[in-house]
Chains A and B, each alone.
Chain A
Protein backbone atom coordinates (compact mmCIF):
# COMPACT_ATOMS: atom_id res chain seq x y z
CA UNK A 1 0.00 0.00 0.00
CA UNK A 2 2.92 2.30 0.54
CA UNK A 3 3.48 3.08 -3.10
CA UNK A 4 -0.09 4.06 -3.89
CA UNK A 5 0.05 7.06 -6.16
CA UNK A 6 -2.32 9.99 -5.86
CA UNK A 7 -4.36 8.96 -8.90
CA UNK A 8 -4.52 5.32 -7.85
CA UNK A 9 -5.70 6.27 -4.37
CA UNK A 10 -8.40 8.53 -5.79
CA UNK A 11 -9.55 5.84 -8.22
CA UNK A 12 -9.64 3.27 -5.43
CA UNK A 13 -11.74 5.52 -3.22
CA UNK A 14 -14.19 6.36 -5.98
CA UNK A 15 -14.54 2.69 -6.87
CA UNK A 16 -15.17 1.82 -3.23
CA UNK A 17 -17.90 4.45 -2.91
CA UNK A 18 -19.56 3.51 -6.17
CA UNK A 19 -19.48 -0.22 -5.39
CA UNK A 20 -21.13 0.42 -2.01
CA UNK A 21 -23.73 2.60 -3.68
CA UNK A 22 -24.33 0.11 -6.50
CA UNK A 23 -25.05 -2.57 -3.91
CA UNK A 24 -27.41 -0.58 -1.70
CA UNK A 25 -28.64 2.18 -4.05
CA UNK A 26 -29.75 3.93 -0.89
CA UNK A 27 -28.31 7.42 -1.46
CA UNK A 28 -29.32 7.72 -5.08
CA UNK A 29 -32.83 6.44 -4.39
CA UNK A 30 -33.39 8.79 -1.44
CA UNK A 31 -31.84 11.79 -3.15
CA UNK A 32 -33.86 11.40 -6.35
CA UNK A 33 -37.12 11.03 -4.45
CA UNK A 34 -36.24 14.01 -2.29
CA UNK A 35 -35.41 16.10 -5.37
CA UNK A 36 -38.77 15.20 -6.91
CA UNK A 37 -40.51 16.12 -3.66
CA UNK A 38 -38.69 19.48 -3.71
CA UNK A 39 -39.76 20.17 -7.29
CA UNK A 40 -43.33 19.28 -6.35
CA UNK A 41 -43.37 21.58 -3.31
CA UNK A 42 -41.86 24.50 -5.21
CA UNK A 43 -44.25 23.98 -8.11
CA UNK A 44 -47.08 25.06 -5.80
CA UNK A 45 -45.31 28.35 -5.22
CA UNK A 46 -44.26 29.14 -8.76
CA UNK A 47 -47.07 27.84 -10.94
CA UNK A 48 -50.06 30.09 -11.42
CA UNK A 49 -52.99 29.10 -13.60
CA UNK A 50 -51.24 26.01 -14.80
CA UNK A 51 -48.17 27.79 -16.10
CA UNK A 52 -44.86 28.29 -14.36
CA UNK A 53 -43.51 31.78 -13.89
CA UNK A 54 -40.56 32.62 -16.12
CA UNK A 55 -37.22 31.61 -14.58
CA UNK A 56 -39.05 29.32 -12.16
CA UNK A 57 -37.74 26.17 -13.85
CA UNK A 58 -34.12 27.23 -13.42
CA UNK A 59 -34.66 28.17 -9.77
CA UNK A 60 -36.55 24.98 -8.95
CA UNK A 61 -33.94 22.84 -10.69
CA UNK A 62 -31.05 24.33 -8.73
CA UNK A 63 -32.91 24.30 -5.44
CA UNK A 64 -33.74 20.64 -5.96
CA UNK A 65 -30.09 19.93 -6.76
CA UNK A 66 -28.83 21.82 -3.72
CA UNK A 67 -31.34 20.28 -1.30
CA UNK A 68 -30.98 16.72 -2.51
CA UNK A 69 -27.21 17.25 -2.56
CA UNK A 70 -27.24 18.01 1.16
CA UNK A 71 -29.22 14.86 1.81
CA UNK A 72 -26.81 12.75 -0.26
CA UNK A 73 -23.76 14.31 1.43
CA UNK A 74 -25.15 13.70 4.90
CA UNK A 75 -25.99 10.09 4.11
CA UNK A 76 -22.66 9.31 2.41
CA UNK A 77 -20.67 10.52 5.39
CA UNK A 78 -23.08 8.92 7.86
CA UNK A 79 -22.18 5.64 6.25
CA UNK A 80 -18.47 6.36 6.72
CA UNK A 81 -19.03 7.19 10.35
CA UNK A 82 -21.05 4.12 11.30
CA UNK A 83 -18.06 1.81 11.08
CA UNK A 84 -15.46 4.49 11.82
CA UNK A 85 -14.22 3.99 8.27
CA UNK A 86 -13.47 7.68 7.89
CA UNK A 87 -10.98 7.46 10.73
CA UNK A 88 -9.49 4.33 9.17
CA UNK A 89 -9.18 6.21 5.89
CA UNK A 90 -7.40 9.06 7.60
CA UNK A 91 -4.94 6.55 9.09
CA UNK A 92 -4.19 5.02 5.70
CA UNK A 93 -0.76 5.86 4.28
CA UNK A 94 -2.06 8.00 1.42
CA UNK A 95 -1.89 11.73 0.94
CA UNK A 96 -4.79 13.48 2.67
CA UNK A 97 -5.66 15.52 -0.42
CA UNK A 98 -6.12 12.21 -2.27
CA UNK A 99 -8.75 11.20 0.28
CA UNK A 100 -10.52 14.50 -0.21
CA UNK A 101 -10.42 14.28 -4.01
CA UNK A 102 -11.60 10.68 -3.88
CA UNK A 103 -14.59 11.51 -1.71
CA UNK A 104 -15.30 14.58 -3.83
CA UNK A 105 -15.31 12.52 -7.02
CA UNK A 106 -17.63 9.97 -5.45
CA UNK A 107 -20.05 12.65 -4.22
CA UNK A 108 -19.90 14.36 -7.60
CA UNK A 109 -20.71 11.13 -9.45
CA UNK A 110 -23.79 10.64 -7.26
CA UNK A 111 -24.92 14.26 -7.66
CA UNK A 112 -24.63 14.04 -11.44
CA UNK A 113 -26.49 10.73 -11.42
CA UNK A 114 -29.35 12.38 -9.51
CA UNK A 115 -29.35 15.19 -12.08
CA UNK A 116 -29.73 12.80 -15.00
CA UNK A 117 -33.15 12.01 -13.58
CA UNK A 118 -34.16 15.40 -12.19
CA UNK A 119 -33.17 17.53 -15.20
CA UNK A 120 -35.37 15.69 -17.74
CA UNK A 121 -38.22 15.73 -15.23
CA UNK A 122 -37.99 19.51 -14.78
CA UNK A 123 -37.72 19.95 -18.55
CA UNK A 124 -40.84 17.85 -18.98
CA UNK A 125 -42.95 19.33 -16.18
CA UNK A 126 -42.13 22.97 -16.82
CA UNK A 127 -41.80 22.86 -20.61
CA UNK A 128 -38.27 24.16 -20.07
CA UNK A 129 -35.97 24.02 -23.06
CA UNK A 130 -33.10 22.50 -21.13
CA UNK A 131 -31.96 20.49 -24.14
CA UNK A 132 -31.91 23.34 -26.66
CA UNK A 133 -28.39 24.23 -25.62
CA UNK A 134 -27.52 20.92 -24.09
CA UNK A 135 -23.76 21.42 -23.93
CA UNK A 136 -24.02 24.76 -22.14
CA UNK A 137 -26.62 23.43 -19.71
CA UNK A 138 -24.42 20.40 -19.09
CA UNK A 139 -21.38 22.62 -18.51
CA UNK A 140 -23.36 24.78 -16.05
CA UNK A 141 -24.66 21.73 -14.20
CA UNK A 142 -21.26 20.06 -13.99
CA UNK A 143 -19.34 23.15 -12.91
CA UNK A 144 -22.09 24.07 -10.43
CA UNK A 145 -22.07 20.58 -8.98
CA UNK A 146 -18.27 20.65 -8.69
CA UNK A 147 -18.37 23.88 -6.67
CA UNK A 148 -21.23 22.67 -4.49
CA UNK A 149 -19.67 19.26 -3.91
CA UNK A 150 -16.24 20.77 -3.18
CA UNK A 151 -17.54 22.73 -0.19
CA UNK A 152 -20.11 20.08 0.67
CA UNK A 153 -17.54 17.28 0.87
CA UNK A 154 -15.26 19.30 3.12
CA UNK A 155 -18.09 20.35 5.45
CA UNK A 156 -19.79 16.95 5.54
CA UNK A 157 -16.46 15.23 6.23
CA UNK A 158 -15.58 17.55 9.07
CA UNK A 159 -19.09 17.43 10.54
CA UNK A 160 -19.15 13.63 10.36
CA UNK A 161 -17.96 13.33 13.95
CA UNK A 162 -19.85 16.20 15.55
CA UNK A 163 -23.16 16.25 17.30
CA UNK A 164 -26.19 17.53 15.45
CA UNK A 165 -24.51 17.21 12.05
CA UNK A 166 -27.71 16.65 10.10
CA UNK A 167 -29.00 20.06 11.14
CA UNK A 168 -25.65 21.85 10.95
CA UNK A 169 -24.71 20.77 7.43
CA UNK A 170 -27.37 22.76 5.55
CA UNK A 171 -26.94 25.76 7.84
CA UNK A 172 -23.20 25.86 7.10
CA UNK A 173 -23.39 24.84 3.48
CA UNK A 174 -26.09 27.07 1.99
CA UNK A 175 -24.66 30.51 2.85
CA UNK A 176 -21.21 29.45 1.67
CA UNK A 177 -22.45 28.05 -1.63
CA UNK A 178 -24.67 31.05 -2.42
CA UNK A 179 -22.38 32.25 -5.25
CA UNK A 180 -22.66 28.86 -6.93
CA UNK A 181 -26.44 28.84 -6.64
CA UNK A 182 -26.75 32.40 -8.00
CA UNK A 183 -24.48 31.66 -10.96
CA UNK A 184 -26.20 28.35 -11.68
CA UNK A 185 -29.73 29.74 -11.52
CA UNK A 186 -28.93 32.87 -13.53
CA UNK A 187 -26.92 30.99 -16.16
CA UNK A 188 -29.65 28.40 -16.63
CA UNK A 189 -32.39 31.05 -16.65
CA UNK A 190 -30.56 32.92 -19.44
CA UNK A 191 -30.72 29.76 -21.53
CA UNK A 192 -34.37 29.06 -20.74
CA UNK A 193 -35.65 32.43 -21.97
CA UNK A 194 -37.74 32.52 -25.11
CA UNK A 195 -34.72 34.15 -26.70
CA UNK A 196 -31.73 32.34 -25.12
CA UNK A 197 -28.90 34.65 -24.17
CA UNK A 198 -25.78 32.61 -24.81
CA UNK A 199 -23.31 35.37 -23.91
CA UNK A 200 -24.84 35.80 -20.43
CA UNK A 201 -24.88 32.06 -19.85
CA UNK A 202 -21.21 31.83 -20.82
CA UNK A 203 -20.32 34.68 -18.46
CA UNK A 204 -22.01 32.86 -15.56
CA UNK A 205 -20.28 29.66 -16.60
CA UNK A 206 -16.92 31.39 -16.38
CA UNK A 207 -17.85 32.60 -12.90
CA UNK A 208 -18.80 29.09 -11.87
CA UNK A 209 -15.46 27.78 -13.09
CA UNK A 210 -13.59 30.42 -11.11
CA UNK A 211 -15.67 29.62 -8.00
CA UNK A 212 -14.78 25.97 -8.47
CA UNK A 213 -11.09 26.82 -8.60
CA UNK A 214 -11.32 28.88 -5.38
CA UNK A 215 -13.47 26.36 -3.51
CA UNK A 216 -11.33 23.37 -4.45
CA UNK A 217 -8.06 25.16 -3.62
CA UNK A 218 -9.36 26.28 -0.23
CA UNK A 219 -10.82 22.86 0.58
CA UNK A 220 -7.69 20.97 -0.48
CA UNK A 221 -5.63 23.24 1.71
CA UNK A 222 -7.97 22.95 4.68
CA UNK A 223 -8.83 19.25 4.54
CA UNK A 224 -5.71 18.01 6.28
CA UNK A 225 -5.56 20.43 9.25
CA UNK A 226 -9.32 20.18 9.80
CA UNK A 227 -9.51 16.40 9.69
CA UNK A 228 -6.41 15.46 11.67
CA UNK A 229 -6.73 15.26 15.43
Chain B
Protein backbone atom coordinates (compact mmCIF):
# COMPACT_ATOMS: atom_id res chain seq x y z
CA UNK B 1 0.00 0.00 0.00
CA UNK B 2 2.60 2.54 1.11
CA UNK B 3 5.05 1.28 -1.51
CA UNK B 4 2.47 1.67 -4.25
CA UNK B 5 1.59 5.08 -2.87
CA UNK B 6 5.20 6.26 -3.04
CA UNK B 7 5.59 5.01 -6.61
CA UNK B 8 2.38 6.74 -7.76
CA UNK B 9 3.39 9.88 -5.89
CA UNK B 10 6.74 10.06 -7.67
CA UNK B 11 5.14 9.35 -11.04
CA UNK B 12 2.48 11.97 -10.38
CA UNK B 13 4.93 14.70 -9.34
CA UNK B 14 7.02 13.91 -12.41
CA UNK B 15 4.00 14.08 -14.69
CA UNK B 16 2.73 17.34 -13.26
CA UNK B 17 6.22 18.77 -13.47
CA UNK B 18 6.56 17.76 -17.10
CA UNK B 19 3.01 18.72 -18.15
CA UNK B 20 3.67 22.50 -18.44
CA UNK B 21 6.49 21.88 -20.96
CA UNK B 22 4.26 19.66 -23.06
CA UNK B 23 1.41 22.16 -22.91
CA UNK B 24 3.64 25.09 -23.85
CA UNK B 25 5.11 23.15 -26.77
CA UNK B 26 1.77 21.88 -28.05
CA UNK B 27 0.65 23.55 -31.30
CA UNK B 28 -1.70 26.52 -31.25
CA UNK B 29 -5.30 25.83 -32.09
CA UNK B 30 -6.23 27.73 -35.25
CA UNK B 31 -9.46 29.48 -34.20
CA UNK B 32 -8.96 29.96 -30.48
CA UNK B 33 -5.24 30.49 -30.22
CA UNK B 34 -3.49 30.58 -26.88
CA UNK B 35 -6.63 30.33 -24.75
CA UNK B 36 -7.23 26.83 -26.06
CA UNK B 37 -4.33 25.71 -23.87
CA UNK B 38 -6.71 25.78 -20.90
CA UNK B 39 -8.20 22.70 -22.55
CA UNK B 40 -5.45 20.38 -21.31
CA UNK B 41 -6.21 20.87 -17.64
CA UNK B 42 -9.87 21.78 -17.99
CA UNK B 43 -10.95 18.64 -19.82
CA UNK B 44 -8.60 16.40 -17.83
CA UNK B 45 -10.04 17.75 -14.58
CA UNK B 46 -13.58 17.35 -15.92
CA UNK B 47 -13.00 13.72 -16.90
CA UNK B 48 -11.49 12.98 -13.50
CA UNK B 49 -14.40 14.73 -11.83
CA UNK B 50 -16.92 12.51 -13.61
CA UNK B 51 -14.85 9.46 -12.72
CA UNK B 52 -14.83 10.64 -9.11
CA UNK B 53 -18.59 11.18 -9.10
CA UNK B 54 -19.16 7.65 -10.33
CA UNK B 55 -16.71 6.28 -7.76
CA UNK B 56 -18.66 8.13 -5.07
CA UNK B 57 -21.97 6.83 -6.40
CA UNK B 58 -20.85 3.22 -6.67
CA UNK B 59 -19.14 3.30 -3.28
CA UNK B 60 -22.34 4.76 -1.78
CA UNK B 61 -24.44 2.04 -3.36
CA UNK B 62 -22.13 -0.72 -2.12
CA UNK B 63 -22.15 0.84 1.34
CA UNK B 64 -25.93 1.09 1.40
CA UNK B 65 -26.29 -2.57 0.41
CA UNK B 66 -23.54 -4.16 2.48
CA UNK B 67 -22.97 -1.61 5.26
CA UNK B 68 -19.22 -1.87 4.99
CA UNK B 69 -17.82 1.29 6.67
CA UNK B 70 -14.72 1.20 4.46
CA UNK B 71 -16.91 1.79 1.40
CA UNK B 72 -18.46 4.79 3.07
CA UNK B 73 -15.00 6.26 3.65
CA UNK B 74 -14.18 5.86 -0.03
CA UNK B 75 -17.49 7.56 -0.87
CA UNK B 76 -16.76 10.58 1.33
CA UNK B 77 -13.27 10.89 -0.09
CA UNK B 78 -14.53 10.67 -3.67
CA UNK B 79 -17.33 13.17 -3.00
CA UNK B 80 -14.91 15.68 -1.54
CA UNK B 81 -12.47 15.31 -4.43
CA UNK B 82 -15.38 15.67 -6.86
CA UNK B 83 -16.10 19.05 -5.32
CA UNK B 84 -12.45 20.15 -5.52
CA UNK B 85 -12.11 19.06 -9.15
CA UNK B 86 -15.49 20.59 -9.93
CA UNK B 87 -14.19 23.88 -8.60
CA UNK B 88 -11.21 23.69 -10.99
CA UNK B 89 -13.49 22.83 -13.92
CA UNK B 90 -16.03 25.53 -13.10
CA UNK B 91 -13.36 28.23 -12.77
CA UNK B 92 -11.15 27.29 -15.73
CA UNK B 93 -14.20 26.81 -17.98
CA UNK B 94 -15.47 30.40 -17.77
CA UNK B 95 -11.93 31.76 -18.26
CA UNK B 96 -11.81 29.87 -21.54
CA UNK B 97 -15.40 30.79 -22.44
CA UNK B 98 -14.74 34.51 -21.91
CA UNK B 99 -12.24 34.42 -24.74
CA UNK B 100 -13.84 31.80 -26.98
CA UNK B 101 -17.53 32.71 -26.66
CA UNK B 102 -17.21 36.28 -25.40
CA UNK B 103 -19.18 35.55 -22.22
CA UNK B 104 -18.15 34.14 -18.87
CA UNK B 105 -20.98 31.70 -18.63
CA UNK B 106 -23.37 29.99 -21.00
CA UNK B 107 -26.32 27.96 -19.87
CA UNK B 108 -25.39 25.02 -22.02
CA UNK B 109 -25.61 21.32 -21.30
CA UNK B 110 -22.03 20.67 -20.24
CA UNK B 111 -21.70 23.69 -17.98
CA UNK B 112 -25.11 23.37 -16.40
CA UNK B 113 -24.88 19.65 -15.73
CA UNK B 114 -21.41 20.11 -14.23
CA UNK B 115 -22.78 22.84 -11.97
CA UNK B 116 -25.74 20.67 -10.94
CA UNK B 117 -23.49 17.73 -10.16
CA UNK B 118 -21.14 19.97 -8.20
CA UNK B 119 -24.11 21.23 -6.17
CA UNK B 120 -25.32 17.68 -5.50
CA UNK B 121 -21.94 16.66 -4.13
CA UNK B 122 -21.69 19.88 -2.14
CA UNK B 123 -25.01 18.99 -0.55
CA UNK B 124 -23.63 15.49 0.09
CA UNK B 125 -20.79 17.04 2.10
CA UNK B 126 -23.17 19.49 3.76
CA UNK B 127 -25.40 16.64 4.92
CA UNK B 128 -22.40 14.75 6.24
CA UNK B 129 -20.99 17.70 8.10
CA UNK B 130 -24.18 19.04 9.64
CA UNK B 131 -26.57 16.09 9.49
CA UNK B 132 -25.57 14.60 12.82
CA UNK B 133 -25.58 10.88 13.63
CA UNK B 134 -26.76 8.51 10.93
CA UNK B 135 -25.98 10.96 8.16
CA UNK B 136 -23.62 8.46 6.51
CA UNK B 137 -26.56 6.40 5.24
CA UNK B 138 -28.55 9.46 4.25
CA UNK B 139 -25.70 11.03 2.37
CA UNK B 140 -25.05 7.77 0.53
CA UNK B 141 -28.55 8.12 -0.92
CA UNK B 142 -27.58 11.59 -2.13
CA UNK B 143 -24.36 10.19 -3.59
CA UNK B 144 -26.24 7.53 -5.55
CA UNK B 145 -28.67 10.12 -6.88
CA UNK B 146 -25.79 12.41 -7.76
CA UNK B 147 -24.06 9.78 -9.86
CA UNK B 148 -27.22 8.36 -11.39
CA UNK B 149 -28.46 11.80 -12.32
CA UNK B 150 -25.47 12.83 -14.40
CA UNK B 151 -26.74 11.39 -17.71
CA UNK B 152 -30.27 12.66 -17.11
CA UNK B 153 -29.25 16.17 -16.21
CA UNK B 154 -27.01 16.20 -19.24
CA UNK B 155 -29.74 14.88 -21.49
CA UNK B 156 -32.36 17.35 -20.26
CA UNK B 157 -30.10 20.39 -20.41
CA UNK B 158 -28.90 19.26 -23.83
CA UNK B 159 -32.46 19.48 -25.07
CA UNK B 160 -32.76 22.84 -23.38
CA UNK B 161 -29.75 24.41 -25.09
CA UNK B 162 -26.20 23.68 -26.08
CA UNK B 163 -23.12 25.54 -27.32
CA UNK B 164 -20.30 23.62 -25.70
CA UNK B 165 -17.90 21.83 -28.05
CA UNK B 166 -19.34 18.37 -28.44
CA UNK B 167 -17.77 15.15 -27.27
CA UNK B 168 -16.36 14.36 -30.70
CA UNK B 169 -13.74 17.09 -30.20
CA UNK B 170 -11.49 14.66 -28.37
CA UNK B 171 -11.25 11.84 -30.96
CA UNK B 172 -10.81 14.34 -33.82
CA UNK B 173 -8.07 16.18 -31.99
CA UNK B 174 -4.90 16.96 -33.88
CA UNK B 175 -2.41 14.13 -33.15
CA UNK B 176 0.17 16.63 -31.90
CA UNK B 177 -2.36 17.89 -29.35
CA UNK B 178 -3.64 14.47 -28.44
CA UNK B 179 -0.33 13.42 -26.89
CA UNK B 180 -0.16 16.26 -24.33
CA UNK B 181 -3.88 15.93 -23.70
CA UNK B 182 -3.72 12.22 -22.89
CA UNK B 183 -0.65 12.91 -20.79
CA UNK B 184 -2.61 15.45 -18.73
CA UNK B 185 -5.57 13.08 -18.35
CA UNK B 186 -3.22 10.39 -17.11
CA UNK B 187 -1.57 12.86 -14.72
CA UNK B 188 -4.95 13.80 -13.30
CA UNK B 189 -5.93 10.15 -12.91
CA UNK B 190 -2.67 9.56 -10.99
CA UNK B 191 -3.38 12.58 -8.82
CA UNK B 192 -6.91 11.32 -8.27
CA UNK B 193 -5.68 7.91 -7.12
CA UNK B 194 -3.30 9.60 -4.68
CA UNK B 195 -5.88 11.99 -3.31
CA UNK B 196 -8.44 9.22 -2.94
CA UNK B 197 -6.00 7.01 -1.06
CA UNK B 198 -4.91 9.82 1.25
CA UNK B 199 -8.38 11.11 1.91
CA UNK B 200 -9.69 7.59 2.61
CA UNK B 201 -6.77 7.01 4.97
CA UNK B 202 -7.71 10.23 6.78
CA UNK B 203 -11.27 8.97 7.19
CA UNK B 204 -9.99 5.60 8.46
CA UNK B 205 -7.82 7.31 11.06
CA UNK B 206 -10.78 9.41 12.11
CA UNK B 207 -12.88 6.25 12.56
CA UNK B 208 -10.07 4.76 14.65
CA UNK B 209 -10.02 7.86 16.80
CA UNK B 210 -13.78 7.68 17.31
CA UNK B 211 -13.49 4.01 18.28
CA UNK B 212 -10.75 4.92 20.75
CA UNK B 213 -12.91 7.63 22.30
CA UNK B 214 -15.76 5.15 22.61
CA UNK B 215 -13.56 2.60 24.34
CA UNK B 216 -12.38 5.34 26.68
CA UNK B 217 -15.94 6.12 27.73
CA UNK B 218 -16.74 2.52 28.65
Q: Which residues of A contact B (CB under 8 A)?
A: 151, 154-155, 158-159, 161-164, 168, 171-172, 174-176, 178-179, 182-183, 186, 203-204, 207, 211, 214, 218, 222, 225-226, 229
Contact = CB atoms under 8 A, between A and B. Distances in A.
Interface of B: 64-65, 116, 119-120, 123, 126-127, 130-132, 134-135, 137-138, 140-142, 144-146, 148-149, 152-153, 155-157, 159-160
A172 B65 CA distance: 22
Given A159-B138, A162-B131, A171 B126 contact: yes
A102 B126 CA distance: 29
A218 B144 CA distance: 9
Given A158-B141, A207-B159, A222-B144, A163 B152 contact: no
B64 A179 contact: no
A222 B131 contact: no
Contact of B120 (A163, A176, A186, A211): A176
Q: What's the dominant secondary structure at chain B's contact region?
A: helix
A222 to B, nearest CB: 5
Contacts of B156: 178-179, 182-183, 207, 211
Contact of A168 (B131, B152, B153): B131
A229 B67 CA distance: 11
20 contacts: A159-B131, A159-B138, A161-B134, A162-B131, A168-B123, A168-B126, A172-B127, A172-B142, A175-B119, A176-B120, A176-B142, A178-B153, A179-B155, A207-B159, A218-B144, A222-B64, A222-B141, A225-B65, A226-B140, A226-B141
A179 B149 contact: yes
Contacts of A168: 123, 126-127, 130-131
